[in-house]
Structure 1
């Protein structure tokens, strides 16, 4: 077992990401069921939102698989290995559920057929339930001690992985979604490794972009 060198990882930004995922998937089934049968315009708005959240979730978990779990496995006591195996298996299950929801959403977006929407809502409910179980275990068993094994620089690389994988035009929406629920000190933390220009403009651009997104999706400035 070896330990990290350099400053400690600060997990507060990931806790905000988790909170945002849970909130989004809690509301997702109701968004789908609230679309009138045949209203494909509204279905497209909701389906685009689901795709954005699903893509962000996939990138978040891919970053953990590639950049976080291997470091913890190498540096933490072997007693943590069984938990890591469970988390990895949960990632596979959640990825499968996300793919199923995405498939249904693609079918539903063009027809807004109520029967397909019901299946999509069921898939999203199951996905939200499995995600909640996964995040609870991760926060309790791994994130609580990750500062012992992962440096601040390595932690920022994990966040950068997800950001770099998203379409550039969607970054302000994602940042705004997180800033909506984050403490100002955590917002500052999220921008710590960003280049100067995004670090300056994102606190203004992100909330505005997310407010527009939330009005389209939820009917109000806030989710």
Structure 2
């Protein structure tokens, strides 16, 4: 694993942010494949837990964008108003399917359809966000304020779910992005991730989807 950088960066490191995007791009499609094909009651409950986790984190991610990232960009780059308003509308447009996908009282076929629509809608949304908003973030926010806010976001998240969040994001992203994201965390966290959190997530992923992610998250 690469050593932490010691020189100041001139723009924010968005590797963890983009790892979350990588997770959102694939997870709803995977869940659509298994939601009505559980092997047994234990597998069914694990699928429901994964749905709850991903929906919760997507809500957390979008709320942070709507309440901190977009307002800051609007203040610093007023010309971005229409772009950011369009991204906010996309957040709102997927809300009904988020509610449907997370509602255990609904028929599995309807929830599966909602997950498939989310898979498609999020791919479109994330393409636009990475094309239009990511360059704004890099040009308008400093590395220091982005890093400090990122630590606040992690601290605000459910601590019991942080190991799951690390494993899930690193399972989806390319190894080079994982390597960069991990450099921002203290050595004890990186060791915990490699020795405990990542092996635990590989086991979870295998139980969920009948195949493991790569053995080493930061290697092809």
Normalized against structure 1, the TM-score is what?
0.81
The answer on 1:47 being equivalent to 2:48 is: yes
Which of 136, 143, 149 in structure 1 is aligned with 2:134?
Answer: 143
**RMSD after superposition:** 2.4
How many residues align structurally?
Answer: 206
**What corresponds to 1:107 in structure 2?**
105
CA spacing shift, 1:212–1:167, aligned 2, 3 Å: farther
Normalized against structure 2, the TM-score is what?
0.82
Instruction: Give 5+ residue unaligned stretches, structure 2.
Output: 1-8, 215-220
Which ranges of 4 or more aligned residues in structure 1 deviate by more than 6 Å? none
Hey, what's the Cα distance between the residues in 2 that align with 1:194 and 1:19?
A: 19
Q: How does 1:13-162 map to 2 (within 5 A)?
A: 13-35=16-38, 39-76=40-77, 78-103=78-103, 106-107=104-105, 116-162=107-153
CA spacing shift, 1:50–1:65, aligned 2, 3 Å: same
Deviation at 1:161, TM superposition (A): 4.6
Deviations 1:174-198 (A, max 9, x none): 2122223445553354345545532
The answer (yes or no) to whether the contact 1:94–1:127 under 8 Å persists in 2 is yes
Instruction: Give 5+ residue unaligned stretches, structure 1.
Output: 1-5, 109-115
The answer (yes or no) to whether the contact 2:23–2:173 under 8 Å persists in 1 is no
The answer (yes or no) to whether the contact 1:56–1:162 under 8 Å persists in 2 is no
